[in-house]
Amino acid sequence: MNTLNWLTRLISHDTTSRHSNLSLIHEVAGFLEGQGLQPWLAHNADRSKANLFVTIPASDGRTDGGLIFSGHTDVVPVDGQQWHSNPFQAEVREGKLYGRGAADMKGFIASVLAAVPQMKAARLNRPLHIALSYDEEVGCLGAPVMIEELQRRGLTPEHCIVGEPTSMKMVVAHKGHHYFSCRVHGKAVHSSLTPQGVNSIEYAARLIVFINDLAGRLKEDYEQDEAFDVPFSTLGVNTIHGGTAVNIVPQLCEFSFDYRNLPHMDAAAVIEPIEAYIRNVLEPQMQTVDPACHIELRHHGAVPAMPEGDARALYELVSALVDEKTRQKVAYATEGGQFKQAGIHTVICGPGNIEQAHRPNEFIELDQLARCDAFLSKMIAAQSR
């Protein structure tokens, strides 16, 4: 199948992160087995989802080392979005292919799968690998499971290209992503007795204002990196829920926020001042009314940043095959940071525009797919010299 055929097939699998991705994984595994290859799967805990990894050996039979083409199979929900066509049925209109995941990032996966026969036919001087993951969109949960299995099997790929949509430009660094929740436990009373209660929403609001002020200090007081599209670390509250009725002082208010850090910064820059404000200012005031009042701050997880590294050979290789030679740095996070932590030199480079990701009527331009096909063809040839 060519790239358009593959992309149509991939989009038809509803791999929204809350669902299983096994139907897609099994179809791809069947194709690869039909090509005489031996893919293996690494499942999540309840085996409802799986990563897929396959190696196209070098001409001398070597399977270790080499280059990974990596992509995530899950997509974000379409709930509440106004689509002009079925999001899980690819549709081509005016030089664009529409469908959920078209840009983020089934377009890259489709191009890679279409290139498998060329990979097999080439006299590779080092192996090529394909890595498909689950649950990237909900915290890059699948890639660590796959990397652990790689290490268990004694495989040590040297390089990785993560095909997130970069308009086929080379991205050499991205920010990390930390996500937090906060639960403010106040004291509920009738609203006519307000002084006897502790208003969780009011204390949450004070903490949110503090977080917003801290976000400003991240911009003003810390070292920036002008090579990033957003050159400073960012912090923002994105959800909030609280209260039960207009005549009840609210007992509980919950909100969530995220922190996107430049590679040279860590979570301590935000956790420590927030914890200090809770411990030294807010909780003592709340507890003058009721000692049981308190605030829970939880750090739910993180996707590591991908710093620009010393991957000179990979940078030069990719730079020679793309039109735009400038090294890009981006604010969003990918599985690239996890591959980099595992000692695998990584760049981000794939078809489509990140601005289309997660939106209704997501699309990828057919020209971008053609450019990715050409890039992969040249990359395979470069591995065959």
pLDDT of residue 188: 97
Question: How much is the pTM?
Answer: 0.92
Contacts with 127 (C-beta within 8 Å, 6 or more apart), sequence order:
55, 56, 57, 58, 62, 63, 64, 65, 66, 67
Q: Is 365 a catalytic residue?
A: no
86/115 Cα distance (integer angstroms): 27
112/41 Cα distance (integer angstroms): 18
Residue 322: closest CA among 139, 150, 167: 167
Percentage with pLDDT > 70 across the chain: 100
Q: In b/e form, how buried is each residue of 278-291, taking b as 16+ CB within 10 angstroms?
A: beeebbeebeebee
Relative to beta strand 128-133, strand 159-162 is: unpaired
Mean pLDDT for the stretch of residues 178-185:
97
Q: Is 74 a catalytic residue?
A: yes
Mean pLDDT for the stretch of residues 80-105:
97
Task: Enter the tokens of residue 363.
Answer: 């699309």
pLDDT of residue 101: 98
* 12-29 pLDDT per residue, tens: 999 999 999 999 999 999
148/260 Cα distance (integer angstroms): 25
β-pair partners for 301: 179
77/287 Cα distance (integer angstroms): 41
* 160-177 pLDDT per residue, tens: 999 999 999 999 999 999
| Mean of pLDDT over the chain | 96
Residue 248: closest CA among 187, 188, 185: 188
Mean pLDDT for the stretch of residues 108-121:
98
Relative to beta strand 40-43, strand 50-56 is: antiparallel
110/369 Cα distance (integer angstroms): 9
Residue 313 has pLDDT above 80, yes or no: yes
β-pair partners for 257: 180, 237
Active-site choice (104, 136, 164, 283): 136
Q: Walk me through the domains of the chain, giving residue ranges and CATH numbers.
A: 3-174+305-383 (3.40.630.10), 176-303 (3.30.70.360)
Residue 326 has pLDDT above 90, yes or no: no
3 state SS of 305: coil
The runs of H, that is alpha helices, within 60-174 are 107-114, 116-121, 142-152
Active-site choice (74, 135, 164, 365): 74
* 272-286 pLDDT per residue, tens: 999 999 999 999 999
What is the sign, positive or negative, of the torsion defined by CA atoms of 5, 159, 263, 208?
positive
The distance from CA 120 to its chain's CA centroid, rounded to whole angstroms, is 30
At residue 309 the predicted structure's pLDDT band, cuts being 50, 70 and 90, is confident
Residue 171: what residue type? V
Q: State the virtual CA torsion across 16, 148, 302, 169 in degrees, nearest 10.
A: -70
Relative to beta strand 128-133, strand 67-72 is: parallel
